[in-house]
Amino acid sequence: MATDSELDHDIIVIGAGVCGIYALHCLLQKNLNITVLEAGSGPGGTWYWNRYPGCRFDSESWSYGYSFSNEILNEWNWTEHFASQPETLSYLEFVVDKLNLKPHMQFDCKVKRCTWDENTRSWEVLLADSRRLTTRFLMTAIGLLSAPTMPTIDGLDDFEGEAWHTYYWPGKKVEFTGKRVGVIGTGATGVQVIAELADKVKELTVFQRRPNWCAPLNNTKITPEEMDAIKTQYDDIFERCSQTPGGFIHGPRRTALEDVSTEDRHAFWQELYNSPGFGIWLGNYRDVLMDHEANEEFSEWIAEKIRDRVDDPWTAEKLIPTDHGFGTRRVPMETNYYEAYNRDNVHLVCLRDTPIEKITPNGIQTTAEEFEVDILVYATGFDAITGSFDRIEFVGTDGQTLRDKWVNDPITYLGVQTHGFPNLFTLAGPTAGSVSTNFPRGIEAGVDWAADLVQHILDEGITRVECSTEAETQWGDHVRDMYGVLLLREAKSWFTGYNSNLAGEYKARHLLYWGGAPRYREHLVTVAENYYEGFAFA
Ligand code: NA7
């Protein structure tokens, strides 16, 4: 076994996004020799990469910031209730500078392979620039939606105009004025892009395969007076977030639909429709997300809203999902999205009627016709949750790779470790309850817990920690049970591991923990109180 002084680091964290920033801050408090490796040229993760037009929060800005530092809370001013990407990135840069974290971060630093060495009880991390770093503990903070996928369509390289995946949006300004633009994809990202570009381009053609149920974001500016008031309410805001399943300020209404008159439910739904944020999804009657009948009734109510807002009846019907109910896929939040289709310069192409045949030098050829465009936007989603792990080769005990272990379902204990990969902590990993939440709220709890575990390890002089197969089997059963409660289990979306651009036949996967943040935290606390049961220390 190598002694600590023979290794380059005590801990390496991969990723300098929301999770990596907080992990670094927490671990530095413990006087550890730590470095953060980040593929981007700066911190920010998701908010560093996704610079596409219209990119913004669906979480209330003031519920998204870190809660741990009163100084940061008091110094930072949000200008909108749902901040745009540039503002969020500035916020994260502000935090990094404030905490003086940059000296501990290495940018443009891509990790290729991480290999466990049983003899030295350490990880060797191979970088794209061929450097090899050794570390006792390895922590991943590599994001849940950071492995973007391009469509598997013929001719991708033939297009002669500008083409961007929304995730890899360039730092330079893309000039849209006077241009014909095509957008493929109508998930949360595509919906933001389409609404933003509709009145800024010459022609906008939307290539939609399956529509999603969208709802108004109802975003507004925050005045300086309002921001001052928000600062006095942070304790209450974070307390509220800590009680809701999703870590948002919106929690489900516990009443069942059948206990409320039709008139009252419609009045409540109208109130939600007019209110900011995810309330309509996460603050709705609880059974809307659990019970087919309740879900169908609400979906039909929302369908009427789409018909009201879209002038052309054919277009309206094409924008109404028919393959899944409201809220069973991620609900895109929109600002004038449906109204975009009332404009003469916006055209909807339904790929289920006329699929794409190929990308041509001039645009997109469907089975019906060729659409010529100057710019192509691929809002085609991600290899969610496990994709970012698969891009790095993690080699554990006995040469097993994480990719192989997780090929069907990602098996973990509490989402933080997986057997066969000692000393690797998958912060914000698959099936961690910290992931399927208002992200900073979830990761603060998860990282605090992991940092306490590290403290325990240091105090005890431990050099190896690995969860047992029994512990992860039990956790896997619990994760599947939680999927069983929600209708989202039946929909094909990234929540269930669906992405048509991935190789192989689709089989629903259990990637996320749906038991809710309070229940997840209870699990974490119980495990820690029981001397980290389920983990073997050496
Ligand atoms: P999503 O929600 O996975 O959406 C991807 C969209 O791209 C979706 O409409 C797909 O249609 C469409 N798509 C993907 N591949 C193709 C091909 N080959 N042809 C046509 N259309 C395609 O990703 P987003 O980036 O919008 O959102 C991801 C998350 O980021 C979001 O949930 C937020 O949490 C932030 P499909 O539905 O598969 O028919």
| 13 Cα: distance to centroid of ligand 1 (angstroms) | 29
Angle value at C-alpha 58, between 42 and 258, nearest 5 degrees: 155
Q: What is the pLDDT of residues 346-362, one digit of tens each?
A: 999 999 999 999 999 99
> Taking 90 as the threshold, does the pLDDT of residue 434 lie above it?
no
356-359 and 363-366 strand pairing: antiparallel
Can you tell me the distance from the alpha carbon of 280 to that of 11, in angstroms, rounded to the nearest whole number? 41
C-beta of 492 in contact with ligand 1 (< 6 A): no
CA-nearest residue, atom 10 of ligand 1: 185
> Which helix H or strand E contains 279, and what residues bound it?
helix 279-282
Instruction: Give me the sign of the Cα torsion angle 42, 145, 331, 21.
Output: negative
> Taking 90 as the threshold, does the pLDDT of residue 109 lie above it?
yes
- Can you give the pTM of this predicted structure? 0.97
Average pLDDT over residues 425-429: 93
Cα separations in angstroms, 185 against 60, 168, 286, 311, 341: 25, 15, 29, 22, 15
Can you tell me the distance from the alpha carbon of 110 to that of 252, in angstroms, rounded to the nearest whole number? 41
61 within 8 A of 68, measured Cβ to Cβ: no
147 within 8 A of 494, measured Cβ to Cβ: no
pLDDT at 4: 80
Ligand 1 binding pocket mutation candidate from 49, 500, 502 (most atoms within 8 A of CB): 500
pLDDT at 532: 97
Average pLDDT over residues 267-287: 97
358: CB partners within 8 A, 6+ apart: 153, 154, 155, 158, 364, 365
> Taking 80 as the threshold, does the pLDDT of residue 256 lie above it?
yes
Query: What number does the ligand 1 atom closest to the CA of 493 have?
Result: 3
What pLDDT band is residue 435 in, cutting at 50, 70 and 90? confident
325 within 8 A of 493, measured Cβ to Cβ: no
Give the rounded percent of residues in the chain with a pLDDT score beyond 90. 97
Mean pLDDT of the chain: 97
Unique residue bearing structure tokens 């399956």: 210
pLDDT at 409: 96
135 within 8 A of 122, measured Cβ to Cβ: yes
pLDDT at 431: 97
CA-nearest residue, atom 17 of ligand 1: 151
pLDDT at 176: 97
C-beta of 145 in contact with ligand 1 (< 6 A): yes
Average pLDDT over residues 119-148: 97
